[in-house]
Structure 1
Amino acid sequence: MDLLQDLAWRGIIYQQTDEEGLKDSLNKEPISLYCGVDPTADSMHIGHLLPFLTLRRFQQHGHRPIVLVGGATGLIGDPSGKSEERKLLTLETVQDNVAGIKKQLETIFEFEGENGAIMVNNYDWAGSMDIVTFLRDIGKHIGVNYMLAKDTIASRLETGISFTEFTYTILQAMDFLHLYEHHNCKLQIGGSDQWGNITSGLELIRKVQPEGAKAYGLTIPLVTKADGTKFGKTESGAVWLDPEKTTPYEFYQFWINTADADVVKYLKIFTFLSHEKIELLDKAVQEEPHLRKAQKVLAEELTRLIHGEDSLQQAIKISQALFSGDVRSLSAAEIEQGFKDVPAYTSQNEENLVDLLVAAKISPSKRQAREDIANGAVTVNGEKITDAAYALTGTDRIDGQFTIIRRGKKKYTLIKY
């Protein structure tokens, strides 16, 4: 099975500009291809992953990936999928965002070897271009009628679009032309919302380059969930690749909580597992869904790829400790990850457990607190306490920083000191 057949089996291909032409080019010799991301934040989220993982698949088949971070286009703003103008970012903010995103992309690609990835920033060629050169050498080749026919432009005509965002597709077209000329880049890939921008690049190459110049575009379908809810969102917001925004434990938990109806599709598009391995996991979903083998593999593969083996093992350890109730086995750093979103209370040295339950609003009154303790509903660091006179000491503080109190089966509270 060749690369394009593999992508089709995984459900990754949405649109292609010239399927046969691309197939012939890939079979003749290795090509260079690119995918880009605008630094609108200092981190990517999992909604950005699929195009870059697809780019990585091409690298595994011997082709050279070019990873573009849009330091210039990030200053303009892509009108795709937006009903109103984006708020412009400062150059300093965009440059800081570029630095953060570059670090994340470095975990996905191999930068050494014969087909080592190349990372570029379009600010390097667009930032210094003067307006007259832009209009004469680039703008002259892109017709206004051609641009008005683009969905991303046409959808904004009623609500309004500035000339700044109107020119975004030209800037991205210029990226494709620059990479074609300087890196022999023959293919751009992106999400389905990038089809208009990709074809603008092909149009510019066709007009500027000698007749017969070959370049291609390929888009990837929007990732959806079987229940109709938006992929990549949780109650606390987006799932970021930055461990400071979404901890490795939270990242791991997002994938392990994937629904049975979605997990095989996600294994196909987000992991590099073989067809045979995925088919075995598909069988496990059908025959032993309660074991959640597929979800565990999915969570392990993605967490290892983005955060590394050590962070994966830490996430597994936290998950097992919370499932078993053995929270005392966790370090302070692991507790901060695992209990990031639970209610917290800073102790004012209440040593008596009853007083602490009331002060931390775990129990509504001292009477209820005593009843909860007597009924065995309260645990301290995973240990059930039934003595209402119990007083906390330094030994109840994990690493001297935290105590974990649970009331009932699921209500955790993090006590800080």
Structure 2
Amino acid sequence: MQNIIDELSWRGLIQNKVPGVEEQLKKRTTIYIGFDPTSNSLHLGSLLPIIMLIHFQKMGHQSLALIGEATGMIGDPSYKYDRRIFLNQKTLQKNTKSIKNQLSKLLNFHSEKVELLNNFNWMKNISFLKFIRDIGKHFSINYLISKDSVKKRVKNKNDGISFTEFSYSLIQGYDFLYLNQKKNCFIQIGGSDQWGNITAGIELIRKKTGKKAYGITFPLVTKPNGKKFGKSEKGENIWLDKNRTSPYKFYQFWINVSDMDIEKFIKIYTFLPKEKINTLILKHRNNPKKRLLQKKLACEMTKWVHGNEAYEKAINISNILFEKKYTNTFLQSLDEKTIFSIYKNIPHMLFPKKEFEKGIYLLDFLKKSSFFSSKSQANRALNANSIFINKISIKENILLNKENVIGKKYILLQFGKKEFFLIKLK
């Protein structure tokens, strides 16, 4: 077996590991990663565990992708500062189906090296008394409360931590024990926030069976505000579902990765070989303005998640919106199919056609369109010469009418260099 630890370490995909895991990985080993269905879509952060599974497959190991419908009922308290809102079973089942479909597109479940499982299938028949007697007895309160995920919540005087969330580590630990006994699984992998849950499972396996089990964590990818990408995190997220994050917006996320992060991202998010990545990095450093690494990463990721056709559309839309050669005259020549493709992929809304045809002043239009949160904000942008309509710079509060329409029913709004909004008259 090739040394997968060296490969993952070079890529920056290992945060912590249990001693001895390298020796275990010298032979074919079964590993697992869990995905809780607390939303109907996976997100940017979910790509790392999927990428980890694929790396292990490529090295000849057996991978288990576990959808945690049972653990999703509880909610992982790790790195959460407030109590979770519990989802009902119908919602969890719907989310489970959606996530299963997404995983099926990204992982090859027809391969003998990967299997999809659902922990509700073995948790649903276990009684509460049996669980706390057979599993709970192996964990002291002192041990559980020492976990960072629990410790931080206990210190939260306003809310604390519920017994339900407190029990999460036990249930995830039982998953590891079950997979160890039924699937001969010896390694659990997760984000760095899962270290406490993983080690709880390792401890349970040791106490119940006397066997040695292992864990590996990878670094969390965070937003610019320092918070992790997560299904239940507040604020904007980058979803894998095209209906929640359009392929164009997904593509643009990678294009806009900073030079400070791009060398790290090209290693952790792609499967390009080391030699290829090092060559690309050197070329990028010689001329960073060309954004060679960002373009390569955007290409690899968009094609993988959304397919070649979506990638080509994202390129086309990006060119139309950002390239200076695509002027107002060019916009006027676009066919309905192309404009509608842009409409679906960038922020948009319907606007009453009759209200527009009789004439509406720009600031009133911007406020009603929701492109700006207030008329005063729109006015400041106008005074800063940052407003464009159909790629034409607007410097005063003009009266808009049908002459400002492209494709008979669209108006393209732009704020600054990167923010676009498409109005469709109806």
- TM category (shorter chain) comes to 0.7 to 0.9
Q: Which runs of 5+ in 1 are unaligned?
A: 364-371
C-alpha distance 391-189 of structure 1, shift in aligned 2 (>3 A): closer
1:162 alignment counterpart = 162
Q: How big is each residue's C-alpha offset from its partner over 1:32-86, in whole Å with a ceiling of 9 and x where there is no partner?
A: 1111121111112212221221121111111121111110111111111122321
Q: How big is each residue's C-alpha offset from its partner over 1:264-319, in whole Å with a ceiling of 9 and x where there is no partner?
A: 10011111111112112211221111111110111111111111112111111111
2:310 alignment counterpart = 311
Report if aligned partners of 1:53, 1:108 keep a CA contact under 8 Å in 2. Answer: no
Task: Give the superposition deviation at 1:197.
Answer: 0.3
Q: Does 1:137 align with 2:134?
A: yes
1:113 alignment counterpart = 111
Task: Give the superposition deviation at 1:148.
Answer: 2.0
Q: Does 1:346 align with 2:345?
A: no
Secondary structure at the residue paired with 2:66? Answer: strand
Aligned match of 1:39 in 37, 59, 62? Answer: 37
Task: Give the superposition deviation at 1:360.
Answer: 6.7
Q: TM-score of the superposition, structure 2-length normalised?
A: 0.82
Q: How big is each residue's C-alpha offset from its partner over 1:343-386, in whole Å with a ceiling of 9 and x where there is no partner?
A: 7633217558xx366597369xxxxxxxx9xxxx9865x6999x
- 2: CA distance between counterparts of 1:16 and 1:162? 29
Q: How big is each residue's C-alpha offset from its partner over 1:210-229, in whole Å with a ceiling of 9 and x where there is no partner?
A: x3x2321001112247x765
Identity %: 39
- 2: CA distance between counterparts of 1:194 and 1:235? 20
Q: TM-score of the superposition, structure 1-length normalised?
A: 0.84
1:368 alignment counterpart = none
2:365 alignment counterpart = 361
2:379 alignment counterpart = none
Task: Give the superposition deviation at 1:262.
Answer: 0.7
Q: Does 1:246 align with 2:252?
A: no
State how 1:15-414 maps to structure 2 within 5 Å: 15-18=16-19, 21-28=20-27, 30-115=28-113, 117-159=114-156, 160-209=160-209, 211=210, 213-224=211-222, 229-230=226-227, 237-324=236-323, 325=326, 326-327=330-331, 328=334, 331-341=338-348, 345-348=351-354, 355=359, 361=365, 392=402, 398=407, 402-405=409-412, 414=423
Amino acid at match of 1:320: N
- 1: CA distance between counterparts of 2:362 and 2:184? 68
- 2: CA distance between counterparts of 1:389 and 1:181? 72
C-alpha distance 357-84 of structure 1, shift in aligned 2 (>3 A): closer
Q: Bigger radius of gyration, 1 or 2?
A: 1
Q: How big is each residue's C-alpha offset from its partner over 1:192-242, in whole Å with a ceiling of 9 and x where there is no partner?
A: 110010000001111111x3x2321001112247x7654659997111111
C-alpha distance 409-83 of structure 1, shift in aligned 2 (>3 A): closer
Task: Give the superposition deviation at 1:405.
Answer: 4.3
- 2: CA distance between counterparts of 1:65 and 1:285? 35
Task: Give the superposition deviation at 1:321.
Answer: 1.6
C-alpha distance 168-384 of structure 1, shift in aligned 2 (>3 A): closer
Task: Give the superposition deviation at 1:113.
Answer: 2.8
Report if aligned partners of 1:362, 1:413 keep a CA contact under 8 Å in 2. Answer: no
Report if aligned partners of 1:69, 1:98 keep a CA contact under 8 Å in 2. Answer: yes
- 2: CA distance between counterparts of 1:40 and 1:56? 23
Report if aligned partners of 1:16, 1:218 keep a CA contact under 8 Å in 2. Answer: yes
Aligned pairs, number: 390
Report if aligned partners of 1:240, 1:246 keep a CA contact under 8 Å in 2. Answer: yes
Secondary structure at the residue paired with 2:154? Answer: coil
Secondary structure at the residue paired with 1:348? Answer: helix
Report if aligned partners of 2:249, 2:346 keep a CA contact under 8 Å in 1. Answer: no
Q: Does 1:6 align with 2:1?
A: no
- 2: CA distance between counterparts of 1:161 and 1:235? 19
- 2: CA distance between counterparts of 1:407 and 1:134? 58
Secondary structure at the residue paired with 2:8? Answer: helix
